[in-house]
Amino acid sequence: MSYDEGLGERIRGTMDHLHWVSERKMFGGLAFMVRGHMAVGVVKDELMVRVGPEACAWLIDKPHARAMDFTGRAMTGFLFVEPPGLEDDHDLAHWVGHGVEYALSLPPKTALVGARPQERTRPKTGKPRPKR
């Protein structure tokens, strides 16, 4: 088991009343998407929460929260919440709520609302893109 499946079930219970929720295996764990945007996820036994850069600045000081450092570098706008901060269902719902709130603040992905993808702004030349 690469992630805590019990925590995944608890998150499902917290989000079962929401529309436009889907699940996707990501980061070696499980991510919950709201309108196509990642809101929360499970990595090993921790909750990953996408809260955005502004909320991250003050939520990072909460007990059991820390910057998401999945790649060895802190990812802006993402937090990990350690298991002791998730023992109570109310605490889990609190953190999931932050992730859902941020995901709902973003425009829905175009594929979800039936809109056509944005057209190219420049023609394809066949030349490779310059490396950054």
The verdict on residue 124 lying in a domain is no
Asked whether residue 2 carries a pLDDT value surpassing 60, the answer given is: yes
CATH of the domain at 20: 3.90.1150.30
User: Is residue 115 situated within a structural domain?
Assistant: no
> Domain span at residue 84?
5-109
SS3 of 73, please?
coil
Give alpha helix (H) positions in the chain.
5-15, 52-59, 89-105, 110-113
Q: Residue 121 falls within a domain, yes or no?
A: no
Question: What are the pLDDT digits (tens) for 59-68?
Answer: 999 999 999 9
> Does residue 131 lie in a domain region?
no
pLDDT 10s digits, 19-39? 889 999 987 899 999 999 999
Residue 22 lies in a domain: yes
Sign of the torsion angle spanned by Cα atoms 54, 82, 5, 68? positive
| 82 within a domain of the structure (yes/no) | yes
Mean pLDDT of the chain: 87
**Could you tell me if residue 31 is inside a domain?**
yes
Residue 121 has pLDDT above 80, yes or no: no
Number of domains in the chain: 1
Tell whether the torsion through CA atoms of 21, 22, 24 and 30 is positive or negative.
positive
Query: Contact, 15 vs 96, CB < 8 A?
Result: yes
Is the residue at 30 inside a domain? yes
Residue 3 token pair: 């992630």
Q: What is the pLDDT of residue 20?
A: 87
